[in-house]
Structure 1
Amino acid sequence: MASKTAPAESEAPPKKKKLPLVVGAVVLLLAAAAAVWFLVLAPDDAEAAEPEPEKGDVVALDPVSINLADGSYLRLGIALQQTADAAHEADGSEALDLAISLFSGRSVEDLADLDHRAELKGELLTEVEEAYHDEVMDIYFTEFVTQ
């Protein structure tokens, strides 16, 4: 009987050696499938990106004076670049309110930095686009005077 158990024990190690090969083959197959997806089947970013909306009317708003830090003020004029598919001319009240909230209390030195001013303009644009449900695609500073 000892001879019958010996062949069974000798067969067990080859099964253990096959397991890493099977796992390796599965990993290799998954890697190949991922490569095919990213290189062939995945949509291009250029195709997935939304096309730039067409420019419509520009609505110039009356300039406003905004209180800054240390008794200074900002005279700010903005214009809203609407998209071509905007239903009607934008009422600038909400855009002016957003601008006042964003710029109030800032220092003159803070607004004199062109890079920081560009960041603030980008932040204002994001808020305006949300407020006008993407009917406004850009804003322009028509007046920007600090004192």
Structure 2
Amino acid sequence: MTVTAMPQTPADEAVDAPVRKSRKKLVTLLVGALLLGGGGYYLFLMPAKSGPPVPGEVVTLEPIQVNLAAEHYLRIGIALQLVKGVKEADGSKALDATIEIFSGLPMAEVNDPKHRAALKKELVKELEERYEKEVMGVYFTELVTQ
């Protein structure tokens, strides 16, 4: 059995032309809708990029005593610089971090301004992590060694 292709008639070509045009319109409309949707998402739903944190309230914590090396002691008081919009912070995380960083250090290292500045930077970094960017700084309000 032999199959022969039927030649297209001008009527068949006339049917194919509107189908191609309607597909082009559909693709164009879909691409336009995707672009508009993406632009709307970018403008309205994407979180805004924030600049550097703005200082807010300062929370002063009660001083604590920390054991240093060679039977020495450190009495240290700290205050937390909160980011604007944060009203209060649980001081237990800050006190715990302070104890971890300063415990067992030699008294000479705590009294040396260069080492103390490095310890303060370490404490600020730790507090930023523990408070999830709610704390932006720390101040020593009391620092006594014995």
Same fold (TM over 0.5): yes
Task: Confirm or deny that 1:53 pairs with 2:50.
Answer: no
Superposed counterparts of 1:17-36, under 5 Å: none
Shift of 1:51: 2.4
Task: Give the drift of 1:85.
Answer: 2.4
CA distance in 1, matches of 2:65, 2:111: 16
1:114 is matched with 113
Task: Give the aligned partner of residue 74 of structure 2.
Answer: 74
* 1:99 aligned partner: 98
1:50 Cα deviation from its structure 2 partner: 5.9
* CA gap 1:117/1:50 in 2 versus in 1, 3 angstroms: farther
Q: CA deviation at 1:53?
A: 1.2
* Alignment correspondent of 1:134: 133
Q: What amino acid is aligned across from residue 62 of structure 1 in structure 2? A: E
Cα distance between partner residues in 2 of 1:85 and 1:61: 19
Point out where structure 1 has 5 or more consecutive residues left out of the alignment. 1-48
How many residues in Structure 1 have an aligned counterpart in Structure 2?
98
Counterpart of 1:4?
A: none
Runs of 4 or more above 3 Å deviation: none
Find the aligned partners of 1:126 and 1:115 in 2 and give their Cα distance: 17
Q: Which runs of 5+ in 2 are unaligned?
A: 1-48
SS in structure 2 opposite 1:119? helix
Aligned alpha-carbon RMSD (Å): 1.3
Q: Deviations over 1:40-96 (max 9, x none)?
A: xxxxxxxxx96221111110000000000111000000000000122x400110100
Q: Which amino acid aligns with 1:92?
A: G
TM-score by length of 2: 0.64
Higher helix fraction: Structure 1 or Structure 2? 1
Looking at structure 2, the residues matched to 94 and 53 of structure 1 have their Cα atoms a distance apart, in angstroms, of 20
CA distance in 1, matches of 2:52, 2:145: 34
Identity of aligned residues (%): 52
Match of 1:3 in 2: none
